[in-house]
Structure 1
Amino acid sequence: MKVIVVGCTHAGTAAVVNLKSLYPECDVTIYEKNDNISFLSCGIALNVGKVIEDTNSLFYNSPENLAKSGVITNMKHEVLDIDFDNKKVTVKNLLTDDIFEDTYDKLVLTLGSWPIVPKFEGGELENIELCKNHDHALTIIEKSKNAKNVIIIGAGYIGVELVEAFERQGKNVTLIDAEDRIMAKYLDKEFTDIAEKEFSDRGVKLVLGEKVQKFNGENGKVKSVVTENGEYEGDLVILCIGFAPNTKLIQGKLDTLPNGAIVIDEYMRTSREDVFAAGDCCIVRYNPAKDNRYIPLATNAVRMGTLVAKNIVKPTLKYMGTQGTSGIKIYEQNIASTGLTEYMAKTTTSMNVSSVTVTDNYRPEFMPTFEPATVKLVFDTDSRRVIGGQIISKIDLTQYMNTLSVVIQNNMTVEELAMTDFFFQPHFNKPWSLLNTVALEALK
């Protein structure tokens, strides 16, 4: 069996490692445009903030390591075309410009995603950067050395983490987003209000509810960002607007969503026989809403890549879907969420939605120290099914959202969650777990 893997970041790496483990004799060939694999872009902000010193530590595998297991690793090679009928790919060696064909028995598309870059006037100016891969990381770190005023456009997780990192390095930081709240996809207002205050208290300028119109420059370098309502000075601008599936290669050849995300079934199979796909280039089954969505997360990618290997010979292990569980640390605040926020549930589904929020000390008051935690539960009013949750505390209680992710995946109701068994030990919690407590509140 000959397998060609197109693209090799998280899903691709997981697919290849598991393929060689399950089928040591199979021929696996990788074609990757970059000169590296498995880069954890979520660590770029940690590098900027000097939490970690070396960008190379953000790789968890390498072409050389995969080659040791017999994988043919073609870095700096771009697949130009795929002939699905004849099982052929056309490839360009980006170092020599040579173009050649290769054939496969099974094809794995792990094409990844790419940052969304709107066409702004002045977008070609120097020092307007993206934040996705290793090259971007090196560029951001180098250019930030002499930057005084940094502007981040996009208040998702990546943008928000960069804001904190640059502020800690003594930069004047402005965060711009068209939404009226930061992290609006992941958290409801009572949580984002706390996070926004953390930034405002440290002098970060939050420009929310304003759309970028253009960039102004001087001597070919960016000087300011102009929105609908104002102009903001910046000598380094980083675009963190979001991601889109990198699927131009297969448009019109495979079934996709309107945004280009490849449609797959529960065994990672595409609409063409012997063609599999995984990771940021695909749809995911979103359990809270019982629909298919585009949710590019590394956690989804590694699971899906593993499933490609498990199912490449025959359907064996089903994809269980995702809750989009995520977490972030903003200064002293530990924040996590899973499933639908109340706002997203009400605006993107037809469900009748209810929610409850509880603030309580995470462990007994007789302990030497204790801290409050706020936890929110979102549920379907009619079925009572739990569909989302959020938590925030100065103590790291984020694992509660991993537990709640399992609750959502298994279609549990608020009544079931209220009476679910959790341990009690005064060092860690109270007799009623925070998840019990918030679910009990929903029963009132």
Structure 2
Amino acid sequence: MKVAIIGCTHAGIAAMRQILKYYPEAEITVYERHADISYLSCGTYLHIGGTVKNLADVFYANPNEFTKQGVKMRLQFDVIRIDAQAHTIMAQNLLSKELVHDHYDKLIMATGSITAIPAITGVENAKVMLCKTCDQAHELYKAAQQAEQVAIIGGGYVKSGHQVTIFQRGPQLLDEYLDPVLAERVTKLLTDQQVHVITNAEVIKFSDTTSNKLCVTTKQAAYLVDLAVICPGVIPQSDLLKGQFTLAKNGAIITDAYMGTSDPDIFAAGDATEVHFNPTLHAAYIPLASHAIRQGTLAGINVFDKRLKSIGTQATTGMLLFDQTIASTGLTLAGAKAAHYQARSAFYQGNYRPDFMPTTAEVTIELVYDQTSRKVLGAQLMSAHEVSQSANTLSVIIQNENTIDQLAFIDMLFSPNFDEPFNYLNLVAQVAVEQEQGYWRT
């Protein structure tokens, strides 16, 4: 049996590893446009900020390890056409321009996403740069060495010693991940570090100036910078099979819990697909590397034998911004209300461990829950203390449909080294319980 995998970043690599493990007799052919595989996009900002000295260190897999196991690695090949009915592939070698024809028994689409370049006049200017691929990261790093003033379009950030201005189209930063209270804290953290944050600012034009600067024009004003970085969203890359199987309205590939598509011989994983978002019980397009790896793993396990279902996701994510960890999971309060929950949020703010310890740090948590069922729907955390693993814990709480009453008493270790007798996750749930006039009877 022959398996073709199109795309070899996170989902494609994960699928390949599982096929080699569970179906060693299968013949695997991989098609990938780039010469390298496994680039982590977060390496871009880590490299510019100086955390990662060598961008090559961000790659976590080498094509040779798969070639040695018998995988036919067709790197720098662009797949031009797929005929799902005939089970055939036509691709072009990007170096020799030669066309190759292939067939498959099973196909895994791991084609990922492409940058949604905004329709802004002058966006093609050489001083306006993207930051998704490894090649773009190299170009951006090189350009940044000659720049002092950098504009970031889309609410990202650069920790690199530059004078940074962030343009956010909406009224707050990180609106998909944070509600206004924590978003304001993030804004203050940035401004305290001399980052200029401009909200409600729609960029309408990029243009060169006689002084060799780049003029960034919004509807309200114009700003001169040396370089602009666009951090827009992404869109699923599924055009190869358009009209041949079922797609969502935004073009994302619709899959079942086994990562199978409407074609029984085609599986899909990663940024090209939707995920099952547990807090709303609906499919959603949430492109994250963590999703791609899990989906790719499932596609590889299930490609010949549908044995393991996806358990869905809470879209848990986080970032380190200067000295603060910011993490979120599940729904924001705004998202919960939009999903028609009778939602409310509870806030906890306090030190993560006793004051008598040599050091401690304040933790701020917003817990989102449904007043009707009392189930936890989401949470946001911010602290100089490392709270990302607490977001992971809350992800499990949402996954298991636990209530605020259960979270208030859920077993957590206690040691003054780590926390108070009631962990701060217990304490924020206890705030929620008090808001709802006490515990439910058990």
- Whether the aligned pair in 2 keeps the contact of 1:128 and 1:222 (CA below 8 Å) is no
Query: Corresponding residue for 1:115?
Result: 115
Query: What is the deviation of 1:366?
Result: 2.2
Deviations 1:118-146, CA, capped at 9 Å, x for gaps: 22211221121111111011000111111
* Alpha-carbon distance in 2 for matches of 1:119, 1:19: 41
In structure 1, what is the Cα distance between the partners aligned to 2:99 and 2:152? 39
1:389 correspondence with 2:379: yes
Partner residue of 1:427 out of 417, 435, 440: 417
Distance 1:222 1:32 in 2: 37
8 Å contact kept, 1:264–1:271: yes
- Separation in 1 of the partners of 2:95 and 2:119? 29
Alignment correspondent of 1:362: 352
User: Once the two structures are superposed, what CA deviation does each residue of 1:232-260 show, in whole Å capped at 9, x if it has no partner?
Assistant: 11221111011111122222222111111
Match of 1:416 in 2: 406
Q: Which runs of 5+ in 1 are unaligned?
A: none
Measure how far apart 1:220 and its partner are.
12
Taking the aligned partners of 2:421 and 2:134, their CA distance within structure 1 comes to 46
Report whether the alignment pairs 1:282 with 2:273: yes
Kept in 1, the 8 Å contact 2:213–2:224? The answer is no
For residue 49 of structure 1, what is the aligned residue in structure 2?
49
Equivalents in 1 of 2:393, 2:91: separation in Å? 44
Q: Distance in 2 between matches of 1:400 and 1:53?
A: 29
1:181 is the counterpart of 2:186? no
Which residue pairs with 2:300 in the alignment?
309
Q: Distance in 1 between matches of 2:379 and 2:130?
A: 31
For residue 438 of structure 2, what is the aligned residue in structure 1?
A: none
Q: Distance in 1 between matches of 2:357 and 2:53?
A: 37
Q: 2:231 aligns with which of 217, 231, 240?
A: 240
User: So what's the TM-score if we normalise by structure 1?
Assistant: 0.95
Which stretch shows the higher mean deviation, 116-125 or 318-327?
A: 116-125
Assess if the C-alpha contact under 8 Å between 1:27 and 1:71 holds in 2.
yes
Identity level (%): 38
Over 3 Å counting, the alpha-carbon distance change for 1:405 and 1:228 in structure 2 is same
Partner of 2:350: helix, strand, or coil? strand
Q: How far does the alpha carbon of each residue in 1:364-417 deviate from its partner, in whole angstroms, 9 at most, with x for none?
A: 222222222111110111111111011111111221110000010111111111
**Can you list the C-alpha shifts for 1:143-184, whole angstroms capped at 9, x where unaligned?**
1111121111111xxx23xx2x23xx2x22111111111111
| Residue 322 of structure 1, CA deviation | 0.6
Write the mapping of 1:158-237 to structure 2, written as runs, cut at 5 A: 159-160=156-157, 163=158, 165-166=159-160, 169=161, 171-218=162-209, 223-237=214-228
Q: Secondary structure at the match of 2:335?
A: helix
Aligned partner letter, 1:423: L
Q: Distance in 2 between matches of 1:197 and 1:281?
A: 35
Which stretch shows the higher mean deviation, 315-324 or 124-133? 124-133
Is the 1:126–1:220 contact (alpha carbons within 8 Å) kept by the matching residues of 2? Answer: no
Which residue identity lines up with residue 354 of structure 2 in the other structure? Answer: P
Q: Is the 8 A contact 2:368 2:377 kept in 1?
A: yes
Name the counterpart of 2:95: 95
Amino acid across the alignment from 2:426: N
Paired amino acid for 2:197: L
Answering whether residue 73 of structure 2 is matched by residue 73 of structure 1, we say yes
CA-CA distance at 1:221 after TM superposition: 7.1
Query: How many pairs does the alignment contain?
Result: 434
* Alpha-carbon contact 1:195-1:333 (below 8 Å) kept: no
Quick check: 1:320 aligned with 2:311?
A: yes
Q: Does 1:295 align with 2:286?
A: yes
Distance 1:219 1:18 in 2: 56
Equivalent residue letter for 1:318: K
2:428 equivalent to 1:438: yes
Secondary structure, aligned partner of 1:337:
strand
Q: Is the 8 A contact 1:325 1:402 kept in 2?
A: yes
> Does the 8 Å contact 1:267/1:315 carry over to 2?
yes
Match of 2:363 among 366, 369, 373: 373
Q: Secondary structure at the match of 1:41?
A: coil
Which amino acid in 1 is paired with 2:278? N
Distance, in Å, in 1 between the alignment partners of 2:125 and 2:351 is 50
The answer to whether the Cα contact below 8 Å between 1:127 and 1:221 also exists between their aligned partners in 2 is no
Distance 2:249 2:203 in 1: 25
1:199 is paired with a residue of what secondary structure?
helix
Q: Provide the aligned C-alpha RMSD in A.
A: 1.3
Q: Offset of 1:210 from its aligned partner?
A: 1.2
- TM-score when normalising by structure 2: 0.96
The residue matched to 1:396 in structure 2 has which SS?
Answer: coil
AA partner of residue 56 (structure 1): A
AA partner of residue 360 (structure 1): G
213-222 vs 279-288, greater mean Cα deviation: 213-222
How has the CA–CA distance of structure 1 residues 291 and 221 changed in structure 2, closer, same or farther, with 3 Å as cutoff?
farther
Does structure 1 conserve the Cα–Cα contact (< 8 Å) formed by 2:127 and 2:214? no
* Alignment check: 8 A CA contact 2:79 2:90 kept: yes
Decide whether the 8 Å contact of 1:125 with 1:220 is kept in 2.
Answer: no
How has the CA–CA distance of structure 1 residues 87 and 219 changed in structure 2, closer, same or farther, with 3 Å as cutoff?
farther
Whole-Å separation in 2 of the counterparts to 1:8 and 1:345 = 35
Matched, 1:402 2:392: yes
Q: 1:359 touches 1:372 (CA, 8 Å); kept in 2?
A: yes
Name the amino acid aligned to 1:340. L
